[in-house]
Amino acid sequence: MNLEWIQQLVQTIRWTDLSISIGILIVFLLLRKFLTHVLLNWINKRWIKSEMANKWSSAFEKPLSLFILAIGVYLLIHYFMHDHVLFMSSINRIFRSVTVIIIGWGVFNLSASSSFLLGSISKRLGIDDSSMLIPFLSKVMRLVIIVLIITIVSGEWGYSINGLVAGLGLGSLAIALAAKDTLGNILGGVVIILEKPFSKGDWIMSPSTEGIVEDITFRSSKIRTFADSIVTVPNATLANEPITNWSRMGKRRITFNLGVALNSNRESLATALSRIEDELRHHDDIDPGTIMVRFNEFNESSLGIFFYFFTKTTVWAEYLAVRQNINLMILQILEEEGVRLAYPTNRVYVEQEEQVQGKYYSN
């Protein structure tokens, strides 16, 4: 029985049509790369600016190559099975769905954060490379593209999402209550991106954490701490906290109090303070705008000297090197002027009472 069925099938096959169909597919397979190259060059010359051509080509090269192969497969089936109307109707649907998916794939690649499309937007808006707005927009665009592809393909096959939307509408209150924290985090991320209290790579400090900003997602921001660990902070929390952005310092402050001995010579102390201030004003790494070196207080066991000035560098390692250099300079001047540093002491004064013996006379 099986042999008879196979013989009938062989007799019904139109071998000429089959050979031509296979030949069409082979031609498309052999010419796929060439046709892709020619089409991309034509599009680049006619529609795309020269500086965008490379990124456009890299975004659409693989989707276009797959599309040309899909055309070859479609022509093969269409040439061989064109008399089967119902079968070709399904094939047409499949081809339209594949076309939508391939176009969506190319647009998905264009929506990458490094693509020329978002790059052009960032230049027009004056957004720097360290901003997290472009990666955020890229993620939003990619999500929208995926939803559109699913919607169009579902519609092609007769699946309407209206019922799903209506069902979501009926349960919207419950969903909103359940997802209020997630929604709050998303809105917090939008606030952070628009107000730009920090950018990627900035050193920030908040009540929640301190470290270097690595990324911001829909729900949270990732901060690499100085212990080299990643802390994930919800955007809603971070948006409602005071944030100190240390990376935006124009200069870095040094302020401290130094105690010297109570019995320091007045003239020597005044000379030492004058020399220290003069050295700071002529130091290459110290900002000359605000420099204060003042004898400002009397303490129980010391005389207090107040220092307040700024380094030109904000880099932590360089700042520490400058601070060390300044500390050594202060020690040297104090030693040269004979002013000793104070240390905690307790002085005990013993008062001797003089006993006076009186003589009493009685009348």
The pTM is what? 0.50
Closest CA to 244 of 209, 287, 218, 195: 209
Query: Which is it for the CA torsion 296, 302, 305, 311, positive or negative?
Result: negative
> Is residue 116 within 8 Å of 52, Cβ to Cβ?
yes
pLDDT at 112: 67
Q: Exposure of 75 by Cβ count < 10 A (0-12 exposed, 13-18 middle, 19+ buried)?
A: middle
> Is residue 64 within 8 Å of 58, Cβ to Cβ?
no
Q: Exposure of 44 by Cβ count < 10 A (0-12 exposed, 13-18 middle, 19+ buried)?
A: middle
Half-sphere exposure of 59 (CA within 13 A, CB side): 22
CATH number of 198-247: 2.30.30.60
Closest CA to 130 of 248, 307, 274: 248
pLDDT at 362: 45
Residue-range domain boundaries for the chain: 13-159, 198-247, 250-336
Instruction: Tell how far CA 177 is from the center of its chain.
Output: 29
CATH number of 250-336: 3.30.70.100
Q: Which residues contact 178 (CB under 8 A, 6 or more apart)?
A: none
Q: How many CB atoms lie within 10 A of CB 217?
A: 16
Alpha helices in 111-132 (DSSP H): 116-125
Half-sphere exposure of 354 (CA within 13 A, CB side): 2
Can you read off the two tokens belonging to residue 353? 């009472």
**What Cα–Cα distance (Å) separates residue 76 from each residue in 53, 86, 92?**
33, 17, 13
> Is residue 214 within 8 Å of 222, Cβ to Cβ?
yes
Query: Which is it for the CA torsion 182, 188, 192, 194, positive or negative?
Result: positive
Query: Is the fold of 198-247 the same as that of 250-336?
Result: no
Mean pLDDT per segment of 10 residues, for the chain of length 363 residues? 52 60 76 78 66 66 83 75 69 84 84 59 55 67 84 78 55 55 72 77 87 82 89 86 86 93 92 94 91 92 94 89 95 94 76 54 45
pLDDT at 338: 93
pLDDT at 295: 94
Residue 294's φ and ψ, nearest 5 degrees, are -135, 140
Half-sphere exposure of 225 (CA within 13 A, CB side): 10
